[in-house]
């Protein structure tokens, strides 16, 4: 006879989040982060787009860039990236695969000079998500929206997220991603959140 030790199946399930790391992401820790100010609250998610080299997909160059492992001699474009140290918290590949580089409890270096609703230094209080894609006229895959929506739904449950914005919204004139090819309408519909959450 099997005794009931009051251990529920729920208690055996690993938590979705552990110290700011998401269970359903592949973890590739980046050195490009720092501590958040003690007074900051994670209230914003910033959506980016990136491709390395530009408009080329399906390689590991973005991951290598965020990990400071990019071979700058591998492509002429990479020369301009020498010495640049950046990373988002997450990257969603064209096939929907999710990679996490920085704990959400830490300040990833993804936004640069930025401001949202009059509050500067968006890195202090935001989570950065990169979509593998082109900012000029490029579109994104359905599976990327699916991964993005699942991740953001979990972020909203874990942190006091009140807004989503593109890099173009927090650094207008300087940045243009994720670009016109990103469907904010589809993203909002998949999350089912109010208009006030979106740009």
pLDDT at site 11: 57
5-44 burial string, b = 16+ CB within 10 Å, else e? Answer: eeeeeeeeeeeebeebbbeebeebebebbeebeeeeebbb
The angle at the Cα of 127, spanning 42 to 23, to the nearest 5 degrees, equals 100
pLDDT at site 154: 98
* CATH fit for domain 27-197, picks 3.40.50.2030, 3.40.50.720, 3.30.70.360, 3.40.80.10: 3.40.80.10
Residue 59: half-sphere exposure toward Cβ, Cα within 13 Å? 16
What is the pLDDT tens value at each position of the chain, 199 positions in all?
A: 444 555 444 557 889 999 999 999 999 999 999 999 999 999 999 999 999 999 999 999 999 999 999 999 999 999 999 999 999 999 999 999 999 999 999 999 999 999 999 999 999 999 999 999 987 778 999 999 999 999 999 999 999 999 999 999 999 999 999 999 999 999 999 999 999 999 9
Find out whether 131 and 164 touch, Cβ atoms under 8 Å.
Answer: no
Residue with token string 């300087």 = 174
pLDDT at site 147: 98
Query: Which tokens go with 6?
Result: 């009051």
Query: pTM of this prediction?
Result: 0.93
Q: Is 130 a catalytic residue?
A: yes
Q: 130, 132, 135, 168: which one is catalytic?
A: 130
| Domain boundaries defined on the chain | 27-197
Going from the C-alpha of 10 to that of each of 3, 6, 13, 20, 158, the distances in angstroms are 18, 11, 5, 20, 18
Dihedral of alpha carbons 122, 126, 132, 138, sign: negative
């Amino acid at each position: 006879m099997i005794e009931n030790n009051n251990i529920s199946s729920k208690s055996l399930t690993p938590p979705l989040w552990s110290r700011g790391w998401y269970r359903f992401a592949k973890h590739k820790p980046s050195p490009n982060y720092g501590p958040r100010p003690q007074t900051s609250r994670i209230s914003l998610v910033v959506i980016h787009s990136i491709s390395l080299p530009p408009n080329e997909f399906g390689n590991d160059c973005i991951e290598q860039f965020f990990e400071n492992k990019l071979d700058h001699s591998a492509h002429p474009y990479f020369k301009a990236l020498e010495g640049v140290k950046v990373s988002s918290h997450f990257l969603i590949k064209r096939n929907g695969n999710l990679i996490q580089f920085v704990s959400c409890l830490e300040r990833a270096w993804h936004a640069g000079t930025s401001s949202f609703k009059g509050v500067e230094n968006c890195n202090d209080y935001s989570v950065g998500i990169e979509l593998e894609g082109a900012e000029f006229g490029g579109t994104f895959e359905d599976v990327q929206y699916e991964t993005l929506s699942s991740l953001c739904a979990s972020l909203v449950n874990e942190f006091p997220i009140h807004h989503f914005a593109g890099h173009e919204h927090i650094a207008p004139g300087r940045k243009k991603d994720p670009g016109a090819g990103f469907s904010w309408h589809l993203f909002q519909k998949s999350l089912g959140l109010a208009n006030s959450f979106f740009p």
